[in-house]
Amino acid sequence: MKRGTRAVVLLSGGLDSATVLAIAARDGHECYALSFQYGQRHVIELNAARRVAEAAAVQEHRIFPIELSVFGGSALTDSSIEIPQRSTHGIPVTYVPARNTVFLAVALGWAEVIGARDIYIGVNAVDYSGYPDCRPEFIAAFETMANLGTKAGVEGDPMRIRTPLIKLSKAHIIRQGLKLGVDYSLTISCYAADGEGHACGNCDSCRLRAKGFAEAKMADPTCYTHDE
């Protein structure tokens, strides 16, 4: 890859996407970070995304408003659905219908306009095995579709969807991020953080994160509600 080529990096403000951003920069890209205000309950994540983007000195950080919450159908956007405190089998209620498809589609539009050919996304098929849109076969199909549906693809200068975390354990992700200098105290992973950004410590996402730090034998800089 030519150093300095542009990449769009999906940045949620969580641990995974902060790591992905560091990887995209390490790969030599000029990074264009893209976050979404999609009616998520955990809007506190967007502040984390801003901090992470700033710390990584990205070329540009856009927060794109898209009200997926108007459709409902997920515990992450619909306050009438309770966020589960333990893992369930099958597709969890925190799945947001077609979320990654929508996010990648918008990223694709931006990438085409700015001449980026790489789109980085922090999906993980190990921890999020219940989410259909975190699987390698979905990502491969999206890339195929993207190259049939865009000027770039048709003109023989294809788009690539980069998923450097897709097969990594949380511990592996954390070790890699720390090696690249990611400051995980800037990130937040909780589905139900309070207004001041304290993590609940109980939701799926908090438990995955805590387990990852434990397995990586590293201190978790997350501030939990019960730390107060």
Q: Enumerate the β-bridge partners of residue 162.
A: 120
When the beta carbons of 159 and 186 are compared against its own copies, the nearer one is: 159
When the beta carbons of 20 and 104 are compared against its own copies, the nearer one is: 104
Smallest gap from residue 114 Cβ to its own copies (A) = 8
Smallest gap from residue 151 Cβ to its own copies (A) = 5
Question: ∠171-169-106 over CA atoms, to 5°?
Answer: 110
When the beta carbons of 35 and 222 are compared against its own copies, the nearer one is: 35
Closest CA to 217 of 168, 173, 165, 175: 175
When the beta carbons of 55 and 114 are compared against its own copies, the nearer one is: 114
Which stretches of the chain bind its own copies, using CB under 8 A? 62, 64-68, 70-73, 91, 95-102, 104-106, 108-110, 112-114, 132-133, 135, 137-138, 141-142, 144-146, 148-151, 153-155
When the beta carbons of 64 and 224 are compared against its own copies, the nearer one is: 64
Closest CA to 172 of 15, 27, 60: 15
When the beta carbons of 131 and 191 are compared against its own copies, the nearer one is: 131
The helix/strand/coil state of 174 is helix
CB-based contact 22:56 (threshold 8 Å) = yes
The helix/strand/coil state of 18 is helix
Smallest gap from residue 200 Cβ to its own copies (A) = 25
H helices present in the chain, as ranges = 15-26, 44-55, 99-114, 136-149, 151-154, 170-179, 204-215
Smallest gap from residue 145 Cβ to its own copies (A) = 4
Smallest gap from residue 160 Cβ to its own copies (A) = 15
Smallest gap from residue 131 Cβ to its own copies (A) = 9
H helices present in 80-220, as ranges = 99-114, 136-149, 151-154, 170-179, 204-215
When the beta carbons of 142 and 191 are compared against its own copies, the nearer one is: 142
The helix/strand/coil state of 163 is coil
The C-alpha atoms of residue 218 and residue 144 are separated, in whole angstroms, by 39
Smallest gap from residue 63 Cβ to its own copies (A) = 10
